[in-house]
Amino acid sequence: MANKSVWSDNRFWQRSAAWVTGFAAVLLIWLTFDTMGQISMGTDADLQSGVTKRVPGPTVINYKISYEMSTKRGLEVPVIGEKEKFFGRDDYSEKEARALLHLGKLGSQAKNCMNCHTLLGNGAYYAPDLTKAWLDPAWQDGGTMQAMTGKSTKEEAMAEFLQHPSTYPTHSRMMPNLGITAEEAKGLVAFLKHMSSIDTNGFPRNFGRMQGAVNGK
Amino acid sequence: MANKFTGIGSESKQLATWYFTFAAILFGAQLLFGLVAAIQYVMPGFLFEVVDFNVARMIHINALVVWMVFAMFGSVYYLLPDETGIETIGIKIGKLLYWIFVAAIVVVVLVYLLVQVGPATETTIWFINEGREYIEAPRWADWGIVVVALGFVANLWLTGMKGNRSGIVTVLMADMIAFAGLYLAGMFFTDSIVMDQYWWWWVIHLWVEATWEVFVGAIAAYGLITMIGASRKVVEMWLWIEVAMLFGSGILGIGHHYFWIGTPEYWWEIGALFSALEPLPLVAMFIHVMYDWGKQQGKQNASGESVSVINNKPAFLWFWMNAFGNFLGAGIWGFFHTLPQVNLYTHGTQFTSAHGHLAFFGAYATILIGMMYIAVQGKNGIKILKHTKSSIWAVSMIVGGVMGMTIALTIAGYVQVLVSRAQMGATWAGYFDGQQGVWFAQAMDWRLLMGVITFLGFVFLVKDLLSTGKNPVHER
The pLDDT value recorded for residue B46 is 96
Does B244 sit within 8 Å of A20, measured CB to CB? Answer: yes
Residue B427 is nearest to which of A102, A119, A138, comparing CB atoms?
Answer: A138
Q: Would you state the pLDDT for residue B3? A: 42
The CATH code for residues A43-209 is 1.10.760
Q: Which residues of chain A neighbour B213 with C-beta distances below 8 Å? A: none
B435 CB neighbours in chain A (<8 A) are 171, 173
Q: What percent of chain A has pLDDT over 90?
A: 85
Band of residue A208 on the pLDDT scale cut at 50, 70, 90:
confident
- What are the backbone dihedrals phi and psi of residue A148, each rounded to the nearest 5 degrees, phi first? -60, -40
pLDDT bin (cut points 50, 70, 90) of residue A5 is confident
Distance CA A94, CA A116 (A): 31
Question: Where do the domains of chain B lie, and which CATH numbers do they carry?
Answer: 11-299+307-470 (1.20.210.10)
Handedness of CA A181, A186, A188, A189 (dihedral sign): positive
Residue A60 pLDDT > 50? yes
No. of helices (H) and no. of strands (E), chain A = 6, 4
Q: Which residues of A touch B196 (CB under 8 A)?
A: 105
pLDDT, averaged across chain A: 93
A127 to A121, A172, A209, B426: CA distances (angstroms): 11, 12, 20, 11
- Of A155, A194, A191, A217, the C-alpha closest to A56 is A194
CA distance B383 to chain A (A): 31
Residues of A in contact with B40 (CB under 8 A): 126, 173
The gap from C-alpha A50 to its chain's centroid, in whole angstroms, comes to: 20
The residue among A194, A4, A11, A1 whose CA lies nearest residue A94 is A194
Q: Which of B251, B253, B301, B309 is nearest to B276 (CA)?
A: B253
pLDDT for A216? 55
Best of B39, B53, B342 to mutate (most A CBs within 10 Å, chain A): B53
Alpha carbon distance A84, A159 (integer Å):
17
In angstroms, the CA A157 to CA A120 distance is 22
Q: Are A39 and B195 in contact (CB under 8 A)?
A: yes
Q: Closest partner residue to A120 among B130, B260, B353, by Cβ?
A: B260
pLDDT tens string, chain B, 476 residues long: the values are 334 445 567 999 999 999 999 999 999 999 999 999 999 999 999 999 999 999 999 999 999 999 999 999 999 999 999 999 999 999 999 999 999 999 999 999 999 999 999 999 999 999 999 999 999 999 999 999 999 999 999 999 999 999 999 999 999 999 999 999 999 999 999 999 999 999 999 999 999 999 999 999 999 999 999 999 999 999 999 999 999 999 999 999 999 999 999 999 999 999 999 999 999 999 999 999 999 999 999 999 999 888 999 999 999 999 999 999 999 999 999 999 999 999 999 999 999 999 999 999 999 999 999 999 999 999 999 999 999 999 999 999 999 999 999 999 999 999 999 999 988 889 999 999 999 999 999 999 999 999 999 999 999 999 999 999 999 999 98
Closest residue on chain A to B409 (Cα): A125
The reply to whether residue B133 touches residue A122, judged by beta carbons under 8 angstroms, is yes
CB B401 within 8 Å of CB B454: yes
Other CB atoms within 10 A of residue A89 CB: 10
C-alpha B191/C-alpha B149 separation (Å) is 28
Question: Which burial class, exposed, middle or buried, applies to A143 when counting CB atoms under 10 A from its CB (0-12, 13-18, 19+)?
Answer: middle
Shortest distance, CA A165 to any CA of chain B (angstroms): 11
User: pLDDT confidence of A8, banded at 50, 70, 90?
Assistant: confident
For residue B358, give the nearest of B431, B454, B461, B293 by alpha carbon: B454
Strand ranges for B316-380 from DSSP E:
none
Using a CB-CB distance cutoff of 8 angstroms, which residues of chain B are in contact with residue A198? 193-194, 262
DSSP assignment of B385-406 equals BPP-HHHHHHHHHHHHHHHHHH
Question: What is the structure's pLDDT at A212?
Answer: 46
In terms of DSSP H, where are the helices of chain A? Answer: 10-39, 44-48, 94-110, 144-149, 154-163, 182-196
Q: Is B188 exposed, middle or buried (0-12, 13-18, 19+ CB in 10 A)?
A: exposed
CA B113 to each of CA A180, B50, B61, B410: distance values in angstroms, whole numbers, following the listed order: 18, 9, 14, 30
pLDDT-based confidence at residue A7 (cuts at 50, 70, 90): confident
pLDDT at B2: 38
| pLDDT over 60 (residue A43) | yes
What is the ipTM, given to two decimal places?
A: 0.95
Which DSSP letter does residue B384 get? B
A165 upstream amide cis, omega within 30 of 0: no
* Residue A25: CB atoms within 10 Å: 16
H/E stretch holding B61 reads: helix B53-84
Q: Which residues of B touch A35 (CB under 8 A)?
A: 198, 258, 263-264, 267
Q: Do B5 and B77 touch, CB atoms closer than 8 A? A: no
The answer on pLDDT for A141 being more than 80 is yes
Q: Does the CB of B161 have a partner CB in chain A at under 8 Å?
A: no
pLDDT above 70 as % of chain A: 94
DSSP at A162: H
DSSP labels for B205-250?
Answer: HHIIIIIHHHHHHHHHHHHHHHHH---HHHHHHHHHHHHHHHHHHH
pLDDT computed for residue A6 by the predictor: 86
What lies within 8 Å, CB to CB, of A118 at 6+ separation is A124, A125, A129, A130, A131, B348
Tell me, what's the pLDDT at A171? Answer: 87
Of B40, B237, B262, the CB nearest to A54: B262
Q: When comparing pLDDT for A86 and A210, which is higher?
A: A86
